Amino acid sequence: MVSKALTIAGTDPTGGAGIQADLKTFQELGVFGMSVITSVVSQNTLGVRSFVDMHEEFIESQIDAVFEDIRPDAVKTGMLSNPSAIAIVAKKLKEYNVSQYVLDPVMVASSGHELISQEARQSVKEELLPLATLVTPNLPEAEALTGLTIETIEDMKEAGRILVEEYGVKAALIKGGHYKGEADDYLYNGTEFLKFSAKRFDTKHTHGSGCTYAAAITARLAEGDSLNQAVEHGKSFITSAISNPLEIGKGQGPTNHWGHRLTTK
Ligand SMILES: Nc1ncnc2c1ncn2[C@@H]1O[C@H](COP(=O)(O)OP(=O)(O)OP(=O)(O)O)[C@@H](O)[C@H]1O
Ligand SMILES: Cc1ncc(CO)c(N)n1
């Protein structure tokens, strides 16, 4: 039977981030993709113009429509801009006993625009972290969630430890995209730290890299990979998407969702 993955997130009309990036990634990895829209965002590679949040009842109705028909094998959440959207998603993840859940704690777009209210940051911690199989913060998100200032690899690991041991997420992947060195990410799964490494590629075309990475991990979890295997596959997928740039867009361009086809040939 085909594996199915659901993304619950905001949109990007230019196709590099959000729901659009997630669906392309699911498709590339041979997983049937489904989507629930939380916010419609007017954005492009230059930045975010504005966004309109869906009402919580309408987010709930979309989630019910999916689960009452085609049960996903894994779920990913991305942009959830306000506490009521977070509360309804948390309620539904519990109601449907979702056991494979990747939480991408989207806070600020690569262009620097805030995609989440200040109050909602607390809701992410209290309501979503305890439900998630994996949380995938970049460095500013890891700092916002833990209150740490992250300057070293030891700080990255400490953030992972706090997220798992104090906030109750099963595993945390602290991404090094914003780090000064190579593009190394650290996974803490409650027992050990694992490093997922890539050479830093000299490019500005990383719009949506976080969405794409988390979506690839979600697709592999839907396919039955262990968490470590799923992150390893995800890292290889995002590295190919960054290292085969399309060079489109006037700002920070999108990653190349079919880059893995060029790399593995
Ligand atoms: N220049 C680069 N070269 C290689 N890998 C990179 C580069 N930039 C980011 N990465 C990798 O891409 C993945 C996404 O990381 P990043 O920290 O950029 O996410 P993000 O900030 O959430 O992304 P975005 O907000 O743009 O969607 C990580 O595995 C990171 O190591
Ligand atoms: C909808 C959406 N989610 C996440 C990001 C972060 O890349 C973005 N720019 N837009």
> Is the predicted ipTM greater than 0.95, yes or no?
yes
Domain-embedded: residue 220: yes
Residue 92 has pLDDT above 90, yes or no: yes
| pLDDT at 181 (0 to 100) | 83
Q: How close is the Cα of 235 to the center of ligand 2, in Å?
A: 19
Q: How close is the Cα of 61 to the center of ligand 1, in Å?
A: 33
Q: Is the Cβ–Cβ distance between 209 and 259 less than 8 Å?
A: no
Atom of ligand 1 nearest to the CA of 184: 31
Residue 264 confidence class, pLDDT cut points 50, 70, 90? low
* Percent of the chain at pLDDT exceeding 70: 99
Residue linked to tokens 């509360």: 87
Q: Which residues contact 241 (CB under 8 A, 6 or more apart)?
A: 209, 212, 255, 256, 257, 259, 260
Domain-embedded: residue 178: yes
Residue 41 identity (one-letter amino acid): V
Pocket test for ligand 2, best of 7, 8, 12 (most atoms within 8 A of CB): 12
Q: How close is the Cα of 236 to the center of ligand 1, in Å?
A: 12
Q: Which residues contact 189 (CB under 8 A, 6 or more apart)?
A: 164, 170, 171, 227, 228
- As for ligand 1, residues whose beta carbon falls within 6 Å of it are 17, 110, 138, 175-178, 183, 185, 198, 200-201, 203, 206-211, 213, 235, 238-239, 242
pLDDT, the chain, mean: 96
Give CA–CA dist 15/21, Å, rounded.
6
Q: What is the CATH number of the domain that holds 109?
A: 3.40.1190.20
Mean pLDDT value across residues 165-188 = 94
Helix axes 209-222, 18-28, angle to 10 degrees: 40
| pLDDT at 265 (0 to 100) | 47
Tens of pLDDT, residue by residue over 10-38, are: 999 999 999 999 999 999 999 999 999 99
Q: Is 208 in the pocket of ligand 2 (CB under 6 A)?
A: yes
Q: Is the Cβ–Cβ distance between 213 and 78 less than 8 Å?
A: no
| pLDDT at 4 (0 to 100) | 98
Number of the ligand closest to the Cα of 51: 2
Tens of pLDDT, residue by residue over 46-69, are: 999 999 999 999 999 999 999 999
Give CA–CA dist 105/115, Å, rounded.
10
Among 68-72, 107-111, 211-215, the least confident range: 107-111
Tens of pLDDT, residue by residue over 222-250, are: 999 999 999 999 999 999 999 999 999 99
Residue nearest to atom 4 of ligand 2 (CA): 18
Domain-embedded: residue 265: no
Mean pLDDT value across residues 94-100 = 98
Domain-embedded: residue 66: yes
| pLDDT at 233 (0 to 100) | 98
Q: How close is the Cα of 29 to the center of ligand 2, in Å?
A: 20
Residue-number span of the structural domain to which 248 is assigned:
4-260
Tens of pLDDT, residue by residue over 121-152, are: 999 999 999 999 999 999 999 999 999 999 99
Q: How many domains does the chain have?
A: 1
